[in-house]
């Protein structure tokens, strides 16, 4: 009778641990049941993300050179624009597309590409008609590594570092880095994410993504 009671208790406990693999051991001598939780075997995943970031000092420097305050005065250029003025400048956001491969539960490697723009126009003083567009651009390509310090089925907490090349209207091509100081993703296959960072991709980032496991051989 004690054997059946122990087995029934073990089955109930196994049901409460259904999210994980279990190992059940029964000691017939001492009439005890031991249930051990075992983490499932890690299956590497692919991770695709699309995001948008806010403006940052780095993106301003790459696109506009902080207003190009060091440019020499050009009399001929100033006279050509004597009857015009510049409209307000608007930042479109930094748009990113990234891919990473989860080699371990806590380690992901991949790459990120990004693009941003600051748009404005030169307008005629009298008519307000657009004379020209004076937009500034920035593009970046960076290999990325991501350290995941909490990896759950539906939630991940992580930080990452990227190092690559940035092309900006003000700086041309230059080596640059980008940091994700804190990031959180929520969801299983389709997920959303939010990040706080430092670099050309903005200090605040958010977006959506899709991850899936590699095919089992």
Interval 32-46: pLDDT, tens = 656 555 556 667 889
The residue ranking higher by pLDDT, 52 or 136, is: 52
What's the CATH number for 45-69+93-118+138-213?
2.40.160.20
Calculate ∠ Cα 146-186-98, nearest 5°.
40
What digits encode the pLDDT tens for the residues 151-210?
Answer: 998 999 999 999 999 998 877 888 999 999 999 999 999 999 999 999 889 899 999 999
Q: What is the pLDDT of residues 6-31, one digit of tens each?
A: 444 444 444 444 334 455 565 556 66
pLDDT at residue 62 in the model: 73
% residues pLDDT > 70 (the chain): 70
Q: 129: buried, middle or exposed (CB in 10 Å: 19+, 13-18, 0-12)?
A: exposed
Whole-model pTM above 0.95? no
Please give the Cα distance from 112 to 44 (Å, whole number).
Answer: 19
Residue 143 predicted with pLDDT over 90: yes
Domain residue ranges in the chain: 2-38, 45-69+93-118+138-213
Q: Which of 50, 89, 49, 52 is nearest to 68 (CA)?
A: 89
pLDDT of residue 216: 58
Q: Over the chain, what is the mean pLDDT?
A: 77
């Amino acid at each position: 009778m004690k054997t059946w009671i122990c087995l029934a208790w073990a089955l109930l406990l196994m049901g409460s641990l259904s999210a994980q693999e279990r190992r059940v051991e029964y000691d017939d001598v001492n009439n005890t049941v031991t249930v051990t939780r075992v983490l499932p075997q890690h299956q590497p995943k692919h991770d695709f993300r699309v995001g948008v970031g806010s403006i940052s000092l780095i993106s301003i420097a790459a696109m506009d050179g902080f207003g190009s305050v060091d440019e020499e005065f050009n009399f001929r250029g100033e006279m050509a624009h004597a009857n015009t003025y510049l409209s307000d400048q608007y930042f479109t956001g930094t748009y990113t597309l990234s891919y990473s491969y989860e080699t371990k539960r806590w380690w992901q490697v991949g790459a990120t590409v990004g693009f941003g723009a600051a748009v404005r126009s030169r307008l005629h003083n009298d008519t307000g008609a657009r004379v020209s567009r004076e937009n500034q651009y920035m593009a970046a390509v960076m290999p990325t590594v991501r350290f995941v310090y909490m990896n759950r089925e539906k939630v991940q907490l992580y930080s990452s570092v990227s190092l690559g090349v940035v092309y900006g209207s003000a700086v041309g091509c230059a080596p640059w880095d980008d940091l994700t100081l804190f990031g959180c993703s929520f969801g299983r296959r389709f997920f959303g994410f939010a990040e706080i960072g430092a670099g050309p991709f903005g200090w605040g980032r958010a977006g959506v993504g899709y991850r899936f496991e590699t095919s089992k051989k």
